[in-house]
Amino acid sequence: MDKRHLQLVYENVHVAIASIRGQWLRTILTMLIIAIGITALVGILTSIDGIRSSINSNFTSMGANTFTIRNKGSNVRIGHAGRRPKTFARIGYREAVQFKETFHYPGQVSVSAMASFSAKLKHGSKATQPNINVMGCDDAYFAVSGYGIAHGRNFSEHELRFGIPVIIIGAEVRDALFDKKQDPIGKLVMVGAYRYTVIGVLAEKGSSMSFGGDKTCMIPLTNARQNYLGGSTSFTVSVLAPGADRLDESISEAVGVFRVSRGLTAKEENNFEVIRSDNLSRILGDNLYQVQVAGLLIGIVTLMGAAIGLMNIMLVSVTERTREIGVRKALGATKGFIRLQFLVEAVVISVMGGAVGILLGIGIGNAVSGFIGGGFIIPWLWITVGVVLCFVTGVVSGIYPAIKASNLDPIESLRFE
């Protein structure tokens, strides 16, 4: 393209922008329609990326080489999709302990049970909300579950054997019960009707997506059996494999040993579930993909409506500027450059609306991501998709009005009132 053609293109772009300035009200209304569609698209998809990032972060902290043995599987469903997991006979304390004693594959084994989902802790005049998880566990639970002890110590063998009333509290529980400069170690706290001595504080883990996190306390499993657990309690066995590359081998070995603990014969099927640490992450990821597709469809449908609105505005613009088109043709403007003028006008309106929508979408998406504990995300993929969709919307909306404008008879256009 030579210098003359470049100059003509520049003039067409300049005329298109000037026309947009002269129709601000209609332009802004059309931009808002496009912006809403792009906001829905980018906002939903950015939120999903943030949720996925939070899920991956939470489960990565649990370790990629852990698995648990329970009497039922995970029940994660969206709507009515999926199947309910089977629930088998409870895993008794003796079965869990027998497995721990007979499982000689390299790694660590922990036996635990949830003592309470809604405990209220008190210290002096301070108290927590009645939403604290109290877990009965052994000393291996911290390594297997990904929890760390920031201050204090782990349970001793003596405390585990005799059920001594000691407790390791989460960071949020510490903040609720103790002043910042107060050392909680050695202090007494009430957990319901029972008194416990604090021996440790868990490292901050975060409570995004409601995954326990810092609203958690641990007490010796024997003490939990004495004070909280009944005969119907099903215990959970958690195993930390030597490495992620040996996880499948460790699961196979564990299934064989636990079948013996459960007294199963060779012909009987497993009456327990083995849940890998990445199972829930994978299930949620699959469901989020469906939501992601739905969000993309919502944005596209909204943009289709915006495209119709933009086309109507461009057709009205062609009618109002018929005399202008006649003058430009009389001065030598070709059909191609008339088409280009109106196409540029439609694309500029669409892209400007898209830019507003992208900014709003990023803001809304990151607000959701921050709320559930994810980090700040710049969704370059969805920004690119949004820009491309806006460009396509502008071209599709402007092509017919542009052709109509370029085909106007210059003589009839000059006489148009």
Per-residue pLDDT band for 174 (boundaries 50, 70, 90) equals very high
Please report which confidence band the pLDDT of residue 209 belongs to, taking 50, 70 and 90 as the band edges: very low
**Is pLDDT of 415 > 50?**
yes
pLDDT of residue 344: 81
For residue 18, which amino acid is it? A
Mean pLDDT of 114-135: 92
- Least confident piece of the model among 34-48, 57-71, 201-215: 201-215
Name the more confident of 326 and 251. Answer: 251
The answer, yes or no, to whether residue 211 has pLDDT greater than 60, is: no
Residue 161, number of CB atoms within 10 A of its CB: 11
pLDDT at 210 over 60: no
pLDDT for 284 equals 64
Quick: pLDDT tens for 329-350: 777 777 777 787 788 888 888 8
User: CA distances (Å), 63 to each of 99, 111, 163, 375, in order?
Assistant: 21, 17, 28, 20
Report the pLDDT value the prediction gives residue 208, as an integer from 0 to 100.
Answer: 44
In the prediction, which pLDDT does 128 show?
Answer: 92
What's the half-sphere exposure (Cβ side, CA atoms, 13 Å) at 1?
Answer: 7
Residue 150, φ and ψ in degrees, nearest 5: -80, -30
Average pLDDT over residues 286-300: 75
pLDDT given at position 417: 56
Mean of the per-residue pLDDT values of the chain:
81
Q: Does the structure show a pLDDT above 70 at 213?
A: no
Cα–Cα distance for residue pair 233/346, rounded to 1 Å: 66
Q: pLDDT grade, residue 115 (50/70/90)?
A: very high
Does position 146 have pLDDT exceeding 90, yes or no? no
Contacts of range 4-7, beta carbons closer than 8 Å, 24 or more positions apart = none
Residue 103 has pLDDT above 50, yes or no: yes
Among the ranges given (60-74, 78-92, 121-135, 312-326), the one the predictor scored with the smallest mean pLDDT? 78-92
In terms of C-beta density within 10 A (0-12 exposed, 13-18 middle, 19 or more buried), how is residue 257 classed? Answer: buried
Q: What is the mean pLDDT of residues 69-80?
A: 64
Tokens of 234: 């099903």
* Side-chain half-sphere exposure of 198, counting CA atoms within 13 A: 27
Q: First vs last Cα of the chain: how many Å apart?
A: 37
